[in-house]
Amino acid sequence: MTRDALRAIPPINDLLESPAALALAERTSREFARARARAVAGALRAEIAAGQLELEPAAVAAEAARRLEAEGRDTFDDGSGGTDDRLRRVVNATGVVLHTNLGRAPLSRRALEAVVEVAGGYLNLEYDLASGGRGRRDAHGEGMLCELLGCEAAVVANNNAAAVMLVLNTLAAGGEVIVSRGELVEIGGGFRVPEVLERAGCTLREVGTTNRTRASDYEGAISERTRLLLRVHPSNYRIVGFTERPTVAELAGVARRHGLPLVDDLGSGCLVDMRPAGLDEVRAGAALAEGVDLATFSGDKLLGGPQAGIVAGRADLVERVRRNPLMRALRVDKMVYAALDATLRSYCEGRAWEDVPSLRMLAAPAAEVRARADALVARLAVGAEPGLLRASVEDGVSVPGAGSAPGSEIATALVALEHVRLGSTEVEARLRANRPPVIARIERDRVVLDLRTVAAEDEAALEAALAALAGA
Ligand SMILES: *Cc1c(COP(=O)(O)O)cnc(C)c1O
């Protein structure tokens, strides 16, 4: 029976001749219709073989046609298996505020509105409204960055990896760059300082040791081949114990004595004192004030804006970076400028802690998270099948994430889930399969949810997902 049903699945070429496929091809493309016909046939085969679908052989072709007919209407949410690469909003209940896999910083309302306002129409991206002629694209955001950081110039690239690449390639291609052995980091996603240096056309000159490097180590390595001194924020690890690292001021002294630029890859662009969130991170403005010639940092880590890489510092050096032909390949899109501009405006108006979601999340006191967790657990108890899903609130920790403050933990409250029938991995998987997906962590064999990273507007969806579990 199963074998006959499998044999009755029409060949792709026959399926493509069906009215449904022809109509789909007309509205989309022949290639697309073929791809969807393959997907429908594959799903039918899998379901029949697994015994999930029982069909008379004579009914199989009609079922295939019915599914192809539906294709045109709801192409991607058809549950026909395969990889689902559609971007969707997810509920981040992991407590990792700047979760690289979940898109890092959520944008502020103002940033979103700015994107909608400019991107839905035309804008003065490269147009000078005063003269009516061509304007500069690479100057957007520069004024605010300079005021916020106290520097002469700034330019925005696609991300911080691009910013570092641009700076190294501009200032040091064909020459040597001195880096401490304690800072030859791999950030993740393939960003390894030695490899980036090489690709930028520079030669790495390592100095010091993993745990101890002194200013004199840099000084001793300087030769006529040296082009710059590079400091790198060890974003995702910490060296503790018998350690030594020169201060920025000491390194700046060495750089100045030899007429070399000091570049600091700060990683996460921290524009304000982060102590209100309990984090001890160097402000970009402070690094520049201490003598860094060029600082590079991300727009979507502690800054809390869109993916971007900012190069800020001395005007002559920034100008050289701007003129690098690579800039054309690594520049940002109008939507990024709009979102960054609006985010920086929040900083300029002293409203960053209120406006920027990631800053708000980082600074939320544990008591506030606990109050939300208690309320959620109380709401779940109402109407839940008694005893199937137990939810309780306990102490735990959230983390900043994205290597933005290594080793930092933020006290939080967690909702711990225990299901009578389902194990923790099954509970985690069901939450992930929810629409919208809820991303949780497993701790001590229980699924835990950290409301610190769950936006208020996502709480209803989270509650519905939990209610479904409680009825499972
Ligand atoms: C995160 C990070 C980068 C890469 O930044 P992206 O914006 O992700 O490209 C580079 N250097 C350091 C020190 C970092 O922490």
What confidence tens digit (pLDDT) does each residue in 105-161 have?
Answer: 999 999 999 999 999 999 999 999 999 999 998 889 999 999 999 999 999 999 999
Token representation of residue 265:
């890859």
pLDDT at 79: 46
Is 241's pLDDT higher than 90? Answer: no
- Residue 39 backbone class (left: φ over 0; alpha: ψ -120 to 50; beta: rest): alpha
Which string of DSSP letters, residue by residue, matches 409-466? -EEEEEEEEEESSS-HHHHHHHHHHSSS-EE-EEETTEEEEEGGGS-GGGHHHHHHHH
- Degrees, nearest 5: CA angle 160-157-185: 15
Tell me the per-residue pLDDT of 254-309, one tens digit each, with 9 for 90 and over: 999 999 999 999 999 899 999 988 888 899 999 999 999 999 999 999 999 999 99
State whether residue 145 is helix, strand or coil: helix
Decide: 332 and 157 in contact? Cβ < 8 Å. yes
pLDDT at 80: 43
Decide: 6 and 54 in contact? Cβ < 8 Å. no
- Cα of first residue to Cα of last residue in the chain, in angstroms, is 32
pLDDT at 81: 42
DSSP 244: B
Residue nearest to atom 1 of ligand 1 (CA): 267
Token representation of residue 413:
């409250």
| Cα–Cα dist 81/46, whole Å | 9
DSSP 342: H
Among 156, 191, 264, which residue has the most ligand 1 atoms within 8 Å of its CB, making it the best to mutate?
191
CA–centroid distance, residue 320 to ligand 1 (Å): 22
Element (H, E) at 286: helix 284-289
User: Residues near 131 by Cβ (< 8 Å), separated by ≥ 6?
Assistant: none
Residue nearest to atom 7 of ligand 1 (CA): 160
CB atoms inside a 10 Å sphere around CB 154: 25
CA–centroid distance, residue 196 to ligand 1 (Å): 11
In this prediction, residue 239 has a pLDDT band, given cuts at 50, 70 and 90, of confident
pLDDT at 383: 58
CA–centroid distance, residue 17 to ligand 1 (Å): 51
State whether residue 161 is helix, strand or coil: helix
In this prediction, residue 349 has a pLDDT band, given cuts at 50, 70 and 90, of very high
CA–centroid distance, residue 186 to ligand 1 (Å): 9
* Ligand 1 first shell, C-beta below 6 A: 159-161, 164, 187, 191, 232-233, 235, 265, 267-268, 298, 309, 403
CA–centroid distance, residue 188 to ligand 1 (Å): 9
Residue nearest to atom 11 of ligand 1 (CA): 267
Decide: 378 and 457 in contact? Cβ < 8 Å. no
Q: What rounded mean pLDDT belongs to the chain?
A: 92
Token representation of residue 450:
């950290």
Among 104, 185, 187, which residue has the most ligand 1 atoms within 8 Å of its CB, making it the best to mutate?
187
CA–centroid distance, residue 267 to ligand 1 (Å): 5
Taking the CA of residue 266 as reference, the ligand 1 atom at the shortest distance is: 13
Is 78's pLDDT higher than 70? Answer: no
The residue type found at 390 is: R
Closest to 157 (Cα-Cα) out of 149, 146, 165: 165
Residue nearest to atom 12 of ligand 1 (CA): 267
| Cα–Cα dist 307/300, whole Å | 5
Instruction: Write out the E strands in 200-243.
Output: 203-207, 226-232
CA–centroid distance, residue 249 to ligand 1 (Å): 23
State the Cα torsion 424-430-436-438 to the nearest 10°.
10
Give the mean model confidence (pLDDT) for residues 394-405. 87
